[in-house]
Structure 1
Amino acid sequence: MVDKYGTGDDPACYPGTSALRNLLNIEDEDLLEEAEKEISSITASEIEFSPPPYDLAYLQEIHRTLFADIYSWAGAIRSVDISKGETRFCSVIRVVPEAEKLFSHLNALNNFTELNREDLISNVAELYGDINMIHPFRDGNGRAQRILFEHIVINTGFEISWNHVDREEWVNANIASVHCDYAPLQAIFDRCIGGEI
């Protein structure tokens, strides 16, 4: 059986299912997804804004907080290569070095704090797409990454809201970024990033 990340008979899943082994012992993938959404919406409220530095460890802590009640591996870097549809994410042996490069670039640009709104949108879209390609966790990457980017944007002094995002548009924009076409993500972030706080 192929799971949603295309790894096949995955020992991280319950036998004969595509549901990741979890602390709730939910073997149905749809029920597990629903539990993830409900629990992570509660645990997300426990994550407080912190100033930089933003790095892989910061993203791992966000993931750990979101999913510690669901997965024993919450916050841990994945140990297998994964793909979704036609998209093959970063090879597991490159996750840490590639993430370090991206976060070093963010920190070298003073966490985007000196950019005007237009340049902020452009840089945020590119960084989001590139970190998404790394996909450091076995599951829950999108939720953890959105919180990270809320913190990055708020730290620059701008507002951000995900209320203007259509799911299909979001998925297609992330797929486009795989091919370094960041324009769809830029269009979304142009709507999501508001005025100065």
Structure 2
Amino acid sequence: MTFDPFGDFDARGYLRNLAQEKDPAIVRRLEHASFTTGIDDAFAALQKKKALTYADVLTTHKTLFEAMYPWAGQDRLQTAPDIAVSRGGVLFAHPNSIQNAIEYALKLGNDSKTMREKPGEVMGYLAYGHPFLDGNGRTIMVVHSTLAQRAGFSIDWAATDKTAYLQALTKELDDPGQGILDNYLEPYARPAVSDLKEHIVAAKGLDGGRGETDAIRGSNDDPAIQAEYKQQQLKRHSE
């Protein structure tokens, strides 16, 4: 089933993309072209910042995907405030909680010692926030790689196994802050690389290929979904 939070796929294509394209293969190619075109400017802007903020995450997404989506740089609180978004059984943050989740990740990540000790926890909170209707993985990898470089290391994403990484990330999302993703990433920590663009482009899964995609779990007014959000909050420090 097509992810269609706007309810106008037939008229405007996937997520109102500027080409009004519906074919998934073409959408993937267009997304990747937008990403690779914007990545230099995205890294350059982040490197000018003393400490990264939520606004910087929004700007990074806009820079990476503004050639593709008219809503680039707008989070789900703006674009889809009334729906619950999930993937593979994982319910992402309530739109009202996105900023808190990302800011908690940045609080950890802006501290170099904490970033070195807990890169997986930082990634987990960035992933849980899931600010955007598309382009989350690439956006948070750019942000995460910048934080890691500042902390004196890089994750060798090209050496990781995509399936194993996603399994560890899913467990981190379900049981945050227990070191699950930290432990997975530890063997892949390397001295900081200088060329972050080449480092990121070498990462698996960023060439437009898709595994599972986002789905609309239901309305945020649904009592069952509200209860699930509440259970998530009890596990986390950010909300």
TM-score scaled to structure 1, two decimals? 0.80
Q: What are the within-5 Å matches in structure 2 for residues 1-197 of structure 1?
A: 2-4=1-3, 10-11=5-6, 13-15=8-10, 19-47=14-42, 48=44, 49-78=47-76, 79-80=79-80, 81-103=84-106, 105-106=107-108, 111-113=110-112, 115=113, 120-180=115-175, 183-195=179-191
One-letter amino acid matched to 1:106:
L
| Aligned residues between the structures | 184
**2:93–2:129 contact (8 Å) kept in structure 1:** yes
**1:89–1:134 contact (8 Å) kept in structure 2:** yes
One-letter amino acid matched to 2:168:
A
Structure 1's 156 and 149: CA in aligned 2 closer, same or farther, altered over 3 A?
A: same
The sequence identity of aligned pairs, in percent, is 22
Report the alpha carbon displacement of residue 155 of structure 1 after superposing the two structures with TM: 0.9
Of structures 1 and 2, the one scoring higher in RCO (CA 8 A, sep 6+) is 2
Structure 1's 187 and 102: CA in aligned 2 closer, same or farther, altered over 3 A?
A: closer
Report the alpha carbon displacement of residue 196 of structure 1 after superposing the two structures with TM: 5.5
Rounded to whole Å, the distance in 2 between the matches of 1:94 and 1:156 is 27
What do you get for the CA RMSD once the two structures are aligned? 2.5
One-letter amino acid matched to 2:51:
P
Structure 1's 171 and 59: CA in aligned 2 closer, same or farther, altered over 3 A?
A: same
Report the alpha carbon displacement of residue 162 of structure 1 after superposing the two structures with TM: 1.8
One-letter amino acid matched to 1:194:
R
Report the alpha carbon displacement of residue 143 of structure 1 after superposing the two structures with TM: 0.1
**2:130–2:136 contact (8 Å) kept in structure 1:** yes
After superposition, give the CA deviation of every residue in 1:74-122 in whole Å (9 maximum; x if it has no partner).
Answer: 111113231112011111122123333443x327xxx232x2xxx6444
Rounded to whole Å, the distance in 2 between the matches of 1:18 and 1:192 is 39
Rounded to whole Å, the distance in 2 between the matches of 1:86 and 1:17 is 28
> Which range moved further: 39-48 or 180-189?
180-189
Structure 1's 30 and 12: CA in aligned 2 closer, same or farther, altered over 3 A?
A: farther
> Which range moved further: 86-95 or 36-45?
36-45
Structure 1's 30 and 106: CA in aligned 2 closer, same or farther, altered over 3 A?
A: same
**2:105–2:122 contact (8 Å) kept in structure 1:** yes
**1:176–1:184 contact (8 Å) kept in structure 2:** yes
Rounded to whole Å, the distance in 2 between the matches of 1:193 and 1:51 is 24
After superposition, give the CA deviation of every residue in 1:151-170 in whole Å (9 maximum; x if it has no partner).
Answer: 10111122343211222122
Select the structure that is richer in helix: 2
TM-score scaled to structure 2, two decimals? 0.68
> Which range moved further: 186-195 or 82-91?
186-195
Q: Match of 2:16, SS?
A: coil
One-letter amino acid matched to 2:85:
I
